[in-house]
Chain A
């Protein structure tokens, strides 16, 4: 099978590579680009550990071929900090102890980013529905909700 040339903007930089049609986006990120912050959990689009933003929308990178991301703009967990300063969501997960093992955290943060972009002041229920496609097997999600609330408050203050 022939290779396909893709150019994808990831965290502000363009990457051009030759890829197999069947190469999944999560494998492209982790194995071709060594961006291992995006995790593989269930590998079946249920758990959300592989969540990244594509053109601003959260998507599960285990259920997307790399060729489908050609010409698109991606953001991964590696792109969240800004010049060494944590993003409010990253800070929130730290302050509110929003993780134990940390495996789901990159996906939770990327999903949280789109959620807060669309709804800067979500209710607890809206957060719970908002992260319903991201599973955490440690925390019971209580502190994850608090972490997203922390980020929402901080981002609103920054915007004010």
Chain B
């Protein structure tokens, strides 16, 4: 299907793009990688009168580690994340995640910022960023503000962005030595949304005790879910197999899946249970390896 007509706007500065958003409000959409927006337009799920293409704005595309954090420009392509040396060396959770997003040609255009700003609980980065305790920076007419990732997804396909704000950067605390992470996703085929997926990021001390842990769940609720009960169970513990089994059960209880073509709610809860256990074990292994 051919998308509905729209006016194409092509700003070269963020301030210009924000002014366009102020002028056109809810009638405008930001075009980044376009791989969620254009299919939605073709299906008439989205019919913006104005498309603001931010691809011509310089300086939104970078991966920089400084001051104890990694900063990812919102327009960074998934492929750039996948090929980044610092991501390959220090962020196994992000590397796992990006490899499970769509397929290589889609990843050449799809952006990290778009994956978050679309607000789709089926997207993969939201759970990843919950596990990594990321903060996003957004820019609007009154300057920039930071939003904790836990506050970024208030409702189904809804974000904390105001209509005249643009997501500009994702900030993730650099993992200390003894950190590991993993993203495990069950999909029916390459390019599908997850039937369920689990993101885990943790840090252990020299005795193997978990100092910090973050767990995010993909596509098992109307928003991306933090598995808080699992995190509480494991923080400060040196987990044995029984405890990891309990962790799986708690994550499944924190999830709120619905029956759909990808499986029954019961099946998806079973996936969350099993994937949580595997993600924790793999993260622990990787944490041992990084110490």
Binding site for B on A (CB under 8 A): 1-2, 4, 20-22, 24, 27, 43-46, 48, 51, 57-60, 63-65, 67-68, 111, 114-115, 129-130, 132-134
Query: What residues of chain B have their CB less than 8 Å away from a CB belonging to chain A?
Result: 1-8, 10, 31, 34-35, 38-39, 42, 51, 53, 55, 79, 102-106, 108-109, 190-191
C-alpha spacing A60/B191, complex, angstroms: 13
Residues of A with C-beta under 8 A to B6: 1, 21-22
Task: Say yes or no: A57-B3 contact (C-beta < 8 A), given A44-B39, A133-B103.
Answer: no
Known A-B contacts A21-B6, A21-B51, A59-B109; A133 and B1 likewise in contact (beta carbons under 8 Å):
no
Contact among A20, A21, A67, A132 for B104, CB-based, below 8 A: A132
Complex alpha-carbon distance, A93 and B270, angstroms? 43
Determine whether the beta carbon of A1 is less than 8 Å from that of B104: no
Bound Cα distance A64, B10 (Å): 15
Residues of B within 8 A of A130 (CB): 104
Inter-chain contact B2/A24, CB cutoff 8 Å: yes
Between A20, A48, A133, the greatest number of chain B beta carbons within 10 A of the residue's beta carbon is seen for: A133
**What is the CA–CA distance of A22 and B8 in the complex, to the nearest angstrom?**
9
Tell whether, in the assembled complex, residue B103 and residue A21 are in contact, meaning their CB atoms are under 8 Å apart.
no
Q: Closest CB of chain B to A135's CB: distance in Å? A: 9
Contact among A21, A64, A111, A133 for B190, CB-based, below 8 A: A133
18 contacts between A and B (CB under 8 A): A2-B7, A21-B6, A24-B3, A43-B42, A45-B39, A46-B191, A59-B108, A65-B8, A65-B34, A65-B38, A68-B31, A68-B34, A68-B53, A68-B55, A130-B104, A132-B103, A133-B104, A134-B103
A111 and B39: CB pair below 8 A? no
Contacts A46-B191, A64-B34 given; indicate if A1 touches B5 (C-beta within 8 A): yes
Asked, given contacts A1-B5, A20-B5, A44-B39, whether A60 binds B106 with beta carbons under 8 Å apart, the answer is yes
C-alpha spacing A99/B6, complex, angstroms? 39
CB neighbours (8 Å) of B5 from chain A are 1, 20-22
Which residues of the other chain, A, contact B1 by a CB distance below 8 angstroms?
43
On chain A, the residues within 8 Å of B8 by CB distance are 4, 21, 65, 67
Distance in Å: Cβ of A115 to nearest Cβ of chain B: 8
Q: Is the CB of B108 within 8 A of A21?
A: no
CB-defined contacts of B55 to chain A, threshold 8 Å: 68
Residues of A within 8 A of B108 (CB): 57-59
Closest chain B CB from A44 CB (angstroms): 6
Q: Give which listed residue, A20, A51, A58, A64, contacts B38 with CB less than 8 A.
A: A64
- Chain B neighbourhood of A21, CB < 8 A: 5-8, 51
Question: Hey, which chain A residues are within 8 Å of B106, CB to CB?
Answer: 45, 60, 63, 133
A45 vs B190: C-alpha distance when bound (angstroms)? 12
Residues of B within 8 A of A115 (CB): 104
Known: A27-B2, A44-B39, A64-B109. 16 other contacts (CB 8 A): A20-B5, A21-B51, A22-B5, A46-B191, A58-B105, A58-B108, A59-B105, A59-B108, A60-B106, A63-B34, A63-B39, A68-B34, A68-B53, A68-B55, A111-B104, A132-B191
